[in-house]
């Protein structure tokens, strides 16, 4: 897509744009994105009248207490110049595993230890290094980096960076962001034990704590310098990620805490013989994203998946299996649950007689496969009497007459909600990263249809979990 140069717009439009952006609490760049996206979807793009969320804003941005403002929570990660900077690269991965978007800023000194290229490859985002960057300064990039995030993490937080922060300096990009921030800040200090214990650092730490800055570590242990040990090692990336997550998703914003949520995901494989099987194109991404979002909302998640090439979301244990019959058995064994979400693309048929040995070409000409129908897991669980989950949600994967077919499916299967999506190959939903869904809910004989804009599968997951949280709250 072409880049937009805001500078080239005429003054009146630019001012209007800035005003809109300020009113909506967005950067000018993001405002333009919203306008373009809405125009493409032919939706009205009235400025939101909701006032900008004052500090602390974590509960709002935290998933999935309400509708997330921009999908996943965002962290601006400032990497300071110390030997521990190499661990910050792992921290990017740990944050992303927790479904947190990361945008990196490297100080000049940090670039002596790690490269912007490595940080950008891991974060999948442009890395920022300069206060006066012509590409982002049209809308005061440091302000955007400070405000667009839900949390600012500094790792490693060097003695120098902390001193600058305590004094309110703003002579490079990192310190300018920290001074301009109205978002919570988490520091992961890392320095030599003598520097950590120095009276000046002690004063700065005290000042920063008084200013409301959160800290994780430093830990005690060996230093990179030979034969030195003491307090000053940066906390491990997993500890920093957990501290960040705690700030982003405080326990009170875990609306599904104490609820058991069962999720099926991925395709099933139905064996023809020991080496061949019937399958479909499902990647499992949508089901896994829902599991991650449910876990982030505090639920106790049971994820049952067919064969997929995906890592288990943090905090979720996955049961891997192959066939529809195994999936049904495992789902039944998981009951009772509060909510069940059937995102798996279960094979509708299996072969009637699975070959014990590999079918040979020469044996009896072209084999004829007789198919029998698989059990319908969603329908079976929906129609249970005693152990029926309080809320049963299915998917309707359609290639034509989307809403009509989904409505019929909702009635036929006996579930409470259906997420309908068009899986025509041209749209690239199966295996892709984005999804356009319509949520069908039953209200007595009436079926309401709520059509969502195209969004990433993580955003669909977050939105679905927010809806579930509301329904669970209403029911209790
Ligand atoms: N489903 C299931 N067990 C099956 C088939 C489907 O649990 N044997 C669930 C899916 O997980 C999904 C919903 O039923 O939540 C609808 O799946 P879909 O493939 O869209 O519909 P089918 O029931 O297979 O009907 P059809 O293929 O005719 O559209």
The answer to whether the CB of 344 falls within 8 A of the CB of 306 is yes
Name which residue sits closest to atom 17 of ligand 1, judged by CA: 396
Answer yes or no: is pLDDT of 109 > 60.
yes
Both 213 and 101 in a single domain? yes
Once rounded to an integer, what is the mean pLDDT over residues 337-365? 91
User: Residue 267 carries which DSSP code?
Assistant: B
**Number of folded domains that form the chain:** 2
Residue 364 is predicted with a pLDDT of 67
Write out the E strands in 266-398. 270-271, 277-278, 300-305, 317-320, 339-342, 349-351, 371-373, 391-398
Instruction: Say if 56 falls within a structural domain.
Output: no
3-state secondary structure of 78: strand
List pLDDT tens digits, range 278-323: 999 999 999 999 998 998 898 999 999 999 988 788 778 899 999 9
Answer yes or no: is pLDDT of 225 > 70.
no
Assign residue 310 the CATH number of its domain. Answer: 3.40.50.10300
Both 243 and 287 in a single domain? no
Both 243 and 259 in a single domain? no
Per DSSP bridges, beta strands 317-320 and 446-451 are: unpaired
Answer yes or no: is pLDDT of 367 > 80.
yes
Cβ neighbours around 387 below 10 Å, total: 11
Question: Can you give the pTM of this predicted structure?
Answer: 0.62
Residue 23 is predicted with a pLDDT of 60
Residue 6 is predicted with a pLDDT of 55
Distances (CA, A) of 261 to 62, 99, 312, 317, 476: 20, 19, 15, 12, 16
Assign residue 209 the CATH number of its domain. Answer: 3.40.50.1950
The answer to whether the CB of 172 falls within 8 A of the CB of 161 is no
| Most confident option among 40-44, 286-290, 427-431 | 286-290
What are the beta bridge partners of residue 417? Answer: 393, 441
Nearest CA to 372 out of 281, 274, 272, 267 is that of 272
Both 84 and 152 in a single domain? yes
Both 434 and 318 in a single domain? yes
Structure tokens at 304: 């049952």
Answer yes or no: is pLDDT of 265 > 70.
yes
Instruction: Say if 445 falls within a structural domain.
Output: yes
The last residue of one of the domains, among 207, 222, 248, is 248
Both 78 and 139 in a single domain? yes
The residues lining ligand 1, judged by C-beta closer than 6 Å to any ligand atom, are 264, 324, 342, 344-346, 348, 374, 376-378, 394-397, 409
Q: Specify the range with the lowest mean pLDDT, choosing from 43-47, 263-267, 380-384.
A: 43-47
Nearest CA to 143 out of 169, 173, 180, 195 is that of 180
Rounded to the nearest angstrom, the distance between the alpha carbon of 345 and the centre of ligand 1 is: 7
Answer yes or no: is pLDDT of 260 > 60.
yes
Q: Which atom of ligand 1 is nearest to the CA of 348?
A: 8
Both 230 and 310 in a single domain? no
Both 222 and 93 in a single domain? yes
User: Residue 81 carries which DSSP code?
Assistant: S
Name which residue sits closest to atom 6 of ligand 1, judged by CA: 346
Once rounded to an integer, what is the mean pLDDT over residues 348-373? 89
User: Of 50 and 439, which is predicted with more confidence?
Assistant: 439
Name which residue sits closest to atom 4 of ligand 1, judged by CA: 376
Structure tokens at 210: 């008084």
Both 206 and 146 in a single domain? yes
Answer yes or no: is pLDDT of 55 > 50.
no
Provide the mean pLDDT of the chain: 85
Structure tokens at 124: 């999948």
Instruction: Say if 43 falls within a structural domain.
Output: no
Instruction: Say if 48 falls within a structural domain.
Output: no
List pLDDT tens digits, range 325-341: 999 999 999 999 999 99
Both 190 and 260 in a single domain? no
User: Of 277 and 56, which is predicted with more confidence?
Assistant: 277
The residue with tokens 């049209």 is: 138
The last residue of one of the domains, among 231, 248, 265, is 248
Write out the E strands in 177-257. 185-189, 214-215, 219-222, 229-233
The last residue of one of the domains, among 248, 283, 308, is 248
Rounded to the nearest angstrom, the distance between the alpha carbon of 404 and the centre of ligand 1 is: 15
Both 124 and 184 in a single domain? yes
Instruction: Say if 364 falls within a structural domain.
Output: no
**Residues catalogued as catalytic:** 280
Instruction: Say if 421 falls within a structural domain.
Output: yes
Instruction: Say if 397 falls within a structural domain.
Output: yes
Q: Give me the domain span that covers residue 174.
A: 71-248
Rounded to the nearest angstrom, the distance between the alpha carbon of 379 and the centre of ligand 1 is: 9
Q: Which atom of ligand 1 is nearest to the CA of 397?
A: 20
Once rounded to an integer, what is the mean pLDDT over residues 143-149? 78
Both 399 and 457 in a single domain? yes
Residue 354 is predicted with a pLDDT of 94
Nearest CA to 343 out of 410, 411, 418 is that of 418
Answer yes or no: is pLDDT of 134 > 60.
no
Residue 275 is predicted with a pLDDT of 96
pLDDT-based confidence at residue 84 (cuts at 50, 70, 90): very high
List Cβ neighbours of 476 (8 Å cut-off, separation of 6 or more). none
Instruction: Say if 356 falls within a structural domain.
Output: no
């Amino acid at each position: 897509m072409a880049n937009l140069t805001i500078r080239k717009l005429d003054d009146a439009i630019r001012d209007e744009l800035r005003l809109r952006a300020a009113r909506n609490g967005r950067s000018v760049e993001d405002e333009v994105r919203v306008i373009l996206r809405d125009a493409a979807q032919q939706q009205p793009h009235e400025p939101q009248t909701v006032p900008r969320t004052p500090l602390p804003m974590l509960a709002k941005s935290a998933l999935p207490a309400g509708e997330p403002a921009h999908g996943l929570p965002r962290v601006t990660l400032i990497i300071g110049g110390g030997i521990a900077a190499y661990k910050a690269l792992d921290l990017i991965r740990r944050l992303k595993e927790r479904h947190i978007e990361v945008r990196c800023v490297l100080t000049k000194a940090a670039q002596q230890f790690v490269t912007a290229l490595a940080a950008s490859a891991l974060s999948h985002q442009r890395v920022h290094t300069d206060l006066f960057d012509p590409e982002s300064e049209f809308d005061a990039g440091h302000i955007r980096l400070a405000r667009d995030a839900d949390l600012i993490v500094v790792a490693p937080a060097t003695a120098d960076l902390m001193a600058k922060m305590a004094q309110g300096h703003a002579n490079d990009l990192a310190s300018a962001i920290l001074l301009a921030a109205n978002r919570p800040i988490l520091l992961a200090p890392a320095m030599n034990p003598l520097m950590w214990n120095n009276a000046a650092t002690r004063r700065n730490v005290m000042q920063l704590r008084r200013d409301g800055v959160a800290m994780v570590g430093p830990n005690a242990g060996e230093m990179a310098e030979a034969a030195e040990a003491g307090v000053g090692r940066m906390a491990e990336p997993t500890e920093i990620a957990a501290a960040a997550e705690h700030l982003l998703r405080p326990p009170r914003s875990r609306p599904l805490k104490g609820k058991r949520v069962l999720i099926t995901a991925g395709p099933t494989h139905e064996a023809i013989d020991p080496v061949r099987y019937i399958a479909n194109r499902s990647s499992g991404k949508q089901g896994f994203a829902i599991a991650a979002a449910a876990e982030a909302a505090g639920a106790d998640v049971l994820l049952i998946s067919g064969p997929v090439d995906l890592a288990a979301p943090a905090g979720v244990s996955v049961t891997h299996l192959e066939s529809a019959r195994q999936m049904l058995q495992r789902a039944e064994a998981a009951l009772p649950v509060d909510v069940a979400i059937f995102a798996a693309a279960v094979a509708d048929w299996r072969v009637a007689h699975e070959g014990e040995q590999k079918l040979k070409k020469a044996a009896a000409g072209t084999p004829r496969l007789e198919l029998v129908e698989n059990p319908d897991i969603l329908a079976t669980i929906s129609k249970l009497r005693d152990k029926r989950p309080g809320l049963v949600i299915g998917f309707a994967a359609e290639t034509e007459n989307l809403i009509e077919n989904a409505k019929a499916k909702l009635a036929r299967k006996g579930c409470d909600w259906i997420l309908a999506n068009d899986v025509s190959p041209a749209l690239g939903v199966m295996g892709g990263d984005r999804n356009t869904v319509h949520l069908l809910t039953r209200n007595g004989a009436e079926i309401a249809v709520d059509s969502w804009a195209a969004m990433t599968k993580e955003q669909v997951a977050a939105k679905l979990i927010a809806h579930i949280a509301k329904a669970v709250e209403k029911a209790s």
